[in-house]
Amino acid sequence: MDKSTLIGTVTGVVLLGFSIMTGTGAGAFFNVPSLVIVLGGTIAATLIHFPLPDIMAMIKVTKKVISSEPVSAKQYIDKMVDISKKARTNGLLSIEEELNNIDQEFLKVSLQHVVNGTEPEDLNNIMEAELSLMTERHKIGQKIFTAMGNYAPAFGMIGTLIGLIKMLQNLDDPAAIGPGMAMAMVTTFYGALFANLFFIPMGGKLKQRSEEELQFKEMILMGVASVQAEESPRVIQNKLLAFLKPQERENGENAEQ
């Protein structure tokens, strides 16, 4: 699982839990109707805003981003350098037997095209189209999270207004005013919390991950093109290492995200 997302979520939840639990009145923070208005309203607005298939796609992309292990780009560079050596010695067709050992789908498909004899230009067009499709899918995910990050506080405020309007009509019992306002404000609290500890940061993580993945796959694409052009393994390695950050170039295998 994505480490920083995990650490961040645990830290945030623990901190807020503590802060709510200390002193009195923790019960007020668990209020199902408030939760229903904020989450329900946010989901309702999101459904009106986006087509259903886009929302489905976002859920899938999010799951993948959260559960994905950090990729060791260095390891794939080594792999491609190995393959390029073999291809230079035994011809491009000899790559075929390597394909079964490759678990990275994008690299596998690209190399299969090389084996099949797809023209370099066509190979590039096909794989770039695939990449732009992926970017598009990720972008819709970011857009949905951003929208939810705006709707959540709005419905938090709407819920608070409902609570206040109800309370204001029954001011006869002064003892009920405090708890009434407290309950009204819990909805604002939920809206701010979901937006700032979940929707907005998750949209940001999706964006960062999407940029990393794009860069990783463009590196693979360049590597495969070099293999196909039968460039020297040394040149290929240098070209691909330029994609890594300085510290990753040394021992990419330990790079962690």
Binding residues for a second copy restricted to 23-52, rule: CB under 8 A: 23-25, 28-29, 33, 36-37, 40-41, 43-52
Min CB(228)–a second copy separation in Å: 21
Indicate whether 103 belongs to the interface with a second copy (CB under 8 A). Answer: no
Q: What is the DSSP string of 19-87?
A: HHHSSS-GGGG--HHHHHHHHHHHHHHHHHHS-HHHHHHHHHHHHHHHHPPPP-HHHHHHHHHHHHHHH
Q: Which is nearer to a second copy, 115 or 182 (CB)?
A: 182
Q: Which is nearer to a second copy, 159 or 233 (CB)?
A: 159
Please choose, out of 16-24, 81-89, 104-112, 114-122, the segment that lies near a second copy by the rule CB under 8 A: 16-24
Indicate whether 5 belongs to the interface with a second copy (CB under 8 A). Answer: yes
Indicate whether 7 belongs to the interface with a second copy (CB under 8 A). Answer: yes
Indicate whether 232 belongs to the interface with a second copy (CB under 8 A). Answer: no
Kindly report the CA angle at 156 between 151 and 157, in degrees rounded to 5? 100
Residue 13 corresponds to which tokens in the numbers above?
Answer: 């939840």
Report the half-sphere exposure of 202 (CA within 13 A, side-chain side): 25
Q: What is the DSSP letter of 172?
A: S
CB 157 within 8 A of CB 193: no
Q: Which of residues 127-146 bind a second copy (CB under 8 A)?
A: 129, 133, 137
Please choose, out of 89-97, 103-111, 116-124, 190-198, the segment that lies near a second copy by the rule CB under 8 A: 190-198
